[in-house]
């Protein structure tokens, strides 16, 4: 057997620069879309030279995929932490609250991802069919187990997860509509969090 290949660890500066590039790229892609955005714009936005940026990401497509996968990683972390040993209502409540706070705190990432999905998910299709599907199937099995134990009302677990995604991300993806209808009061997201939590919890709690 040959010697194991060692993957070089990123230095602190490399990690910081990659994070800087991804934050700038999110702003540029959100403003101009994938086709309208350029590497020069991203480099200028993050304060790096174009050659320096291309040291980290060879093509605009690579930056775009990295932004989307970074977004997915952040969004899926709360789902990953759904604990089979936990109390079901508490676990789902925590998940809903965390998801809507992610929409509140990073709406541009949500809208960029929604736009990618609407255009066929060509950049992240393999991720959706692979790691995302595996994670959702794993957590759906946990929810099915809770239902079988009588700890939740019967519901298709996949559609429950889809419904949580749809309602929580609505406040980011359709922000102009939400603001127009509600007048955008200061407590909008707090009120939404309480309303969605009650909606799901009351529907799931066994009588």
Question: Which residue from 127, 152, 132, 124 is spatially nearest to 80, judged by alpha carbons?
Answer: 132
What tokens were used for 171?
């406040």
16 & 116 share domain: no
83 & 50 share domain: no
44 & 120 share domain: no
Number of domains comprising the chain: 2
**Over the range 160-186, which residues count as b (16 or more CB within 10 Å of their CB) and which as e?**
bbebbeebbbbbbbebeebeeeeeeee
Identify the pLDDT of residue 8.
Answer: 57
pTM of the model: 0.85
Please say if the pLDDT value at position 7 is more than 50.
Answer: no
pLDDT, tens only, 94-144 = 999 999 999 999 999 999 999 899 989 998 899 999 999 999 999 999 999
Q: Where are the alpha helices (DSSP H) in the chain?
A: 12-36, 39-46, 50-56, 60-80, 88-105, 107-118, 125-127, 133-148, 157-173, 175-182, 188-204
Which DSSP category does 103 fall into?
H
Identify the pLDDT of residue 5.
Answer: 45
């Amino acid at each position: 057997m040959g010697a194991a290949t060692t993957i070089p660890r990123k230095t602190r500066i490399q990690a910081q620069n990659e994070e800087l590039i991804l934050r700038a790229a999110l702003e540029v892609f959100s403003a101009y879309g994938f086709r309208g955005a350029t590497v020069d714009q991203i480099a200028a936005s993050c304060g790096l030279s174009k050659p320096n940026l291309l040291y980290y990401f060879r093509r605009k497509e690579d930056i775009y995929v990295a932004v989307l996968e970074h977004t997915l990683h952040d969004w899926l972390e709360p789902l990953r932490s759904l604990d089979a040993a936990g109390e079901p209502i508490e676990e789902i409540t925590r998940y809903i609250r965390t998801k809507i706070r992610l929409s509140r705190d990073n709406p541009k990432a949500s809208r960029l991802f929604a736009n990618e999905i609407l255009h066929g998910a060509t950049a992240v299709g393999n991720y959706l069919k692979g790691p995302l599907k595996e994670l959702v199937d794993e957590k759906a099995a946990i929810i099915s187990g809770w239902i079988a134990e009588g700890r939740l009302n019967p519901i298709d677990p996949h559609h429950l997860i889809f419904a949580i995604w749809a309602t929580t991300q609505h406040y980011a993806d359709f922000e102009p509509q939400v603001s127009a209808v509600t007048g955008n009061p200061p407590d909008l997201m707090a009120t939404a969090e309480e309303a969605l939590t009650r909606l799901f919890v009351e529907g799931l709690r066994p009588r």
